[in-house]
């Protein structure tokens, strides 16, 4: 998938989740904000309550979205016959989309009433979503191919060599300037700190300073606006690559630990969801079928 198409794809997925949340919140705000004692007499009660036509439907569609998102991604990742069925990266992005949309729908299915076994399921779902966001951050810190496979350190260093060659021959930058810019690019942040909660924002702040210095150096060169922007983008990618090299070992460890945390919450959510659905069907809470 081309870069601009991929951006449109990502923006579309994010927009759908945000639009659904806003639509449901705006159209049901009067009901959801009313007190427990007033809801029964509210005009939207029969359709927005958890067993109502819309409320029940949101729960079913939201649960299906999460099931498809989880098991679809697992199938693509683990079943050999699906290995060539699209890049793993795009499957992961669609998995994140469905597993973000699903909880939004389930949230409105609960009508913001949490109690009993549903509360355990809901907070497990929240834990899965939050740990998923953290996992996504860790995942993208590890350099990968377009198919989503991890790159070895030698492959990463080869990317760095290609980066330097392209700067020299494609944009005809002077050797002295490239050395000066590369010195800025390869500067190390001293005393980053052991705690990653401090280290991560400190590193991002440091990278912004490097970009400002590189832009300042490039503005004195006779580059077209287009080439200037392309060189800046290349250096931004170079900075990200350096960060990923520096953090490679730590992030690989974090990803292993993350799986230990993420999976139990997902299993708890799945088990309680099955129990919840089974009880609902047993007591006759059926939707349109």
* Beta bridge partners of residue 150, listed in sequence order: 144
Tokens linked to 68: 């498809």
- 8 Å CB contact between 254 and 153: no
The full length of the chain comes to: 289
83: phi then psi, degrees, rounded to nearest 5: -60, -30
pLDDT value of residue 287: 67
Mean pLDDT within 127-146: 79
Tokens linked to 49: 């309550």
pLDDT in tens, 186-239: 776 665 556 767 777 888 888 888 888 888 878 777 778 888 888 888 888 888
Tokens linked to 257: 């630990």
- 8 Å CB contact between 185 and 178: no
82 or 160: which carries more pLDDT confidence?
82
pLDDT value of residue 14: 93
pLDDT above 90 coverage of the chain, percent? 11
Mean pLDDT within 93-114: 89
Cβ neighbours around 41 below 10 Å, total: 8
Enumerate the domain spans of the chain: 3-34+45-149+254-282, 153-247
Of the spans 60-64, 164-168, 253-257, which averages the highest pLDDT? 60-64
């Amino acid at each position: 998938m081309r870069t601009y198409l991929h951006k449109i794809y990502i923006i579309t997925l994010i927009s759908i989740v945000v639009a659904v949340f806003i639509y449901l919140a705006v159209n049901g705000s009067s009901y959801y904000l009313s007190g427990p004692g007033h809801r029964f007499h509210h005009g939207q009660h029969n359709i927005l309550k958890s067993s109502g036509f819309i409320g029940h439907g949101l729960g079913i569609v939201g649960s299906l979205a999460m099931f498809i998102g989880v098991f679809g991604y697992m199938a693509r990742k683990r079943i050999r016959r699906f290995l060539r069925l699209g890049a793993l990266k795009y499957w992961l992005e669609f998995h994140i989309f469905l597993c973000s949309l699903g909880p939004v729908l389930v949230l409105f299915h609960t009508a913001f009433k949490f109690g009993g076994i549903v509360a355990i399921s809901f907070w497990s779902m929240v834990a899965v979503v939050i740990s998923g966001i953290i996992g996504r951050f860790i995942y993208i810190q590890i350099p990968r191919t377009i198919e989503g496979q991890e790159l070895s350190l030698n492959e990463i260093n080869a990317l760095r060599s290609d980066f330097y060659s392209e700067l020299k021959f494609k944009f005809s930058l002077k050797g002295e300037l490239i050395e000066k810019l590369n010195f800025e690019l390869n500067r190390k942040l001293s005393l980053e700190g052991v705690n990653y909660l401090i280290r991560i924002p400190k590193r991002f702040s440091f990278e912004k300073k490097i970009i400002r210095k590189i832009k300042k150096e490039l503005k004195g060169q006779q580059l077209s606006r287009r080439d200037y922007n392309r060189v800046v983008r290349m250096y931004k990618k170079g900075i990200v690559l350096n960060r990923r090299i520096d953090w490679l070992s730590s992030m690989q460890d974090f990803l292993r630990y993350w799986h230990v945390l993420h999976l139990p919450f997902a299993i708890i959510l799945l088990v309680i969801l099955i129990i919840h659905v089974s009880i609902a069907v047993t007591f006759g809470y059926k939707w349109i079928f």
